[in-house]
Amino acid sequence: MRFLITGGAGFIGSNYLHYVVEKYPDDYFVCLDALTYAGNYNNIKDLEGKQNFKFVHGDITNREFIDKLFEEENFDIVINFAAESHVDNSIKNPGIFLTTNILGTQVLMDASRKYNVKRYHQVSTDEVYGDLPLDRPDLLFREDTPIHTSSPYSSSKAGADLLVLAYHRTYGLPVTISRCSNNYGPYQFPEKLIPVVISKALHDEPIPVYGKGENVRDWIHVIDHNIGVDLIVRNGRVGEVYNLGGHSERTNLEVVKTILKQMNKPESLITYVTDRPGHDLRYAIDSSKVEKELGWERTYNFSDGIKETVDWYLNNETWIEDIKSGNYKNAYQDK
Ligand SMILES: NC(=O)c1ccc[n+]([C@@H]2O[C@H](COP(=O)([O-])OP(=O)(O)OC[C@H]3O[C@@H](n4cnc5c(N)ncnc54)[C@H](O)[C@@H]3O)[C@@H](O)[C@H]2O)c1
């Protein structure tokens, strides 16, 4: 089968490609990425040269370009990881989030209809469900939890999800959606909590923690997320939404302290900063649908996963330093 993987030079998409290019030698994977500030060609350059992999530099919002790519490549399956993904940026500059996350999704789905793609999969987030109170550990997000967003980022993802379901109902496009909790693992851009903590701690710099660090996230290893996406794309029922969660709820402060301990760095590096406006309190996800229907299960627990992840960043310091210096932006031209 011929796959289009958008956003494949980002954190989750690049991990997905490393997983599937190796696992499915008879399938063919085109990675399409605009290489925005969050896209890093270094994340996938070791896949270049593989028989079943190709990188294409381009923008999912460019209709003419996308049409041509679909015509040339004859995709069976489209998986859309491409997005503007950082909540803080969406608060400062919402416009690009609507353009990429909603209109980009529309462009991809229009091409998927025109060229008879067999499955369009939208990679979404548990943030579309809003947040849960801190004092109700019994509550979890289910697939039928109402959409109730807090940030321009989550609203743009929710808008895209609704459009995906509408394309299924109105045009019969064979779609699936996965909604996942917070991911951690290799290749995450150092603007998100875990790589920020590691890269700051490496240089004994102050580590910013929003508010009192009490916000709770449900952490999932990126490999487990991607195993879930792969199962849903291949075996999931058309028109369905599937939640994927880590069953590892931690406050942000707990996560920061765990990392500092592993790195032998003092907690005095922690600096509390003014809370993010509209900051979601708690995310927690019920993954029982995908577990029962598709046999998905987590392969990582948080304590082993975070240890392995910290080690990865420590062993790949040049990967972080290239981002800090801006050199990573030249990786594609210099290839
Ligand atoms: N990171 C998480 O914890 C998490 C959790 C749940 C869902 N998600 C979703 O998973 C997907 C991937 O997230 P991520 O953390 O890997 O994000 P990321 O920011 O690391 O990567 C996004 C990638 O998309 C590319 N991109 C952006 N705009 C583009 C455009 N117009 N055309 C083509 N490519 C473009 C970027 O260059 C980058 O490579 C997103 O849809 C996100 O909403 C992320």
Whether 94 is in a domain gets the answer yes
Q: Is 184 a catalytic residue?
A: no
In this prediction, residue 56 has a pLDDT band, given cuts at 50, 70 and 90, of very high
Testing ligand 1's pocket by substitution, the residue of 81, 250, 285 carrying the most ligand atoms inside 8 A of its CB is: 81
Of all protein residues, whose CA lies closest to atom 44 belonging to ligand 1?
125
Rounded Cα–Cα distance for residues 333 and 144 (Å):
45
Residue nearest to atom 21 of ligand 1 (CA): 10
- How many domains are there within the chain? 1
- 38 CA distance to ligand 1 middle (Å): 8
220-247 mean pLDDT: 98
* Global model pTM greater than 0.95: yes
Q: Indicate if 127 belongs to the active site.
A: yes
pLDDT tens across 260-312, in order? 999 999 999 999 999 899 898 999 999 999 999 999 999 999 999 999 999 99
Residue 178 reports pLDDT greater than 90: yes
Average pLDDT (239-254) is 97
The residue range of the domain holding 104 is 2-189+221-248+281-303
Using a 6 Å CB cutoff, which residues line ligand 1? Answer: 6-7, 9-13, 33-36, 38-39, 59-61, 81-85, 100, 104, 123, 125, 157, 180, 182-183, 189
304: which residues sit within 8 A by CB, 6+ positions away? Answer: none
Point out the catalytic residue in the list 33, 59, 84, 126.
Answer: 126
Question: Taking residues 112-135, what's their average pLDDT?
Answer: 97
Cα separation of 241 and 318, whole Å? 38
Catalytic residue among 59, 127, 230, 280: 127
Helix residue ranges per DSSP H, 28-151: 63-73, 87-92, 95-97, 104-114
For a ligand 1 pocket test, name from 32, 63, 85 the mutation site with the most ligand atoms within 8 angstroms of its C-beta: 85
What percent of the chain lies above the pLDDT cut of 70?
100
Mean pLDDT of 139-151: 96
Sheet harboring 249-251: ordered strands across? 182-184, 216-221, 249-251
pLDDT digits (tens, 9 = 90+) for 247-272: 999 999 999 999 999 999 999 999 99
Q: Has residue 322 been placed in a domain?
A: no
**CA atoms of 295 and 57, how far apart (whole Å):** 35
Q: Is 187 left (phi over 0), alpha (psi -120 to 50) or beta?
A: left
Query: Does the pLDDT value for residue 246 go beyond 90?
Result: yes
Instruction: Summarize pLDDT for 26-36 with one digit per residue, the tens.
Output: 999 999 999 99
Q: Report which secondary-structure segment, H or E, holds 28.
A: strand 28-33
Q: Looking at the CA of residue 184, tell me the nearest atom of ligand 1.
A: 3
For residue 203, tell me if it sits in a domain. Answer: no
Condensed to tens digits (0 to 9), the pLDDT of residues 60-117 reads: 999 999 999 999 999 999 999 999 999 999 999 999 999 999 999 999 999 999 999 9
How many Å apart are CA 70 and CA 73, to the nearest integer? 5
Residue 176 confidence (pLDDT): 99
Instruction: Tell me how far apart the alpha carbons of residues 133 and 265 are, in angstroms, rounded to a whole number.
Output: 32
What letter would DSSP give residue 213? S
Distance CA 243, CA 152 (A): 21
Q: Rounded to the nearest whole angstrom, what is the distance from the C-alpha of residue 47 to the centroid of ligand 1? A: 19
User: At residue 334, does pLDDT exceed 90?
Assistant: no
13 C-alpha to center of ligand 1: Å?
7
Q: What is the pLDDT of residue 218?
A: 96
If you take atom 5 of ligand 1, which residue's CA is the nearest one? 182
Position 45 scores a pLDDT of 96
Give me the pLDDT at residue 87, please: 95
Q: What is the CATH number of the domain that holds 125?
A: 3.40.50.720
CA of 99 to the centre of ligand 1 (A): 14
Residue type at position 180: C
What pLDDT does residue 250 have?
96
pLDDT at 303: 96
Tens digit of pLDDT for each residue in 160-170? 999 999 999 99
Looking at the domain assignment, is residue 271 inside a domain?
Answer: no
At 335, is the pLDDT very low, low, confident or very high (cuts 50, 70, 90)? confident
Look up 22 and say whether it is catalytic.
no
Which of 4, 5, 6, 12 has the most ligand 1 atoms within 8 A of CB, as the residue to mutate? 12
Name the average pLDDT for the chain: 97
> What is the Å distance from ligand 1's center to 138 Cα?
30
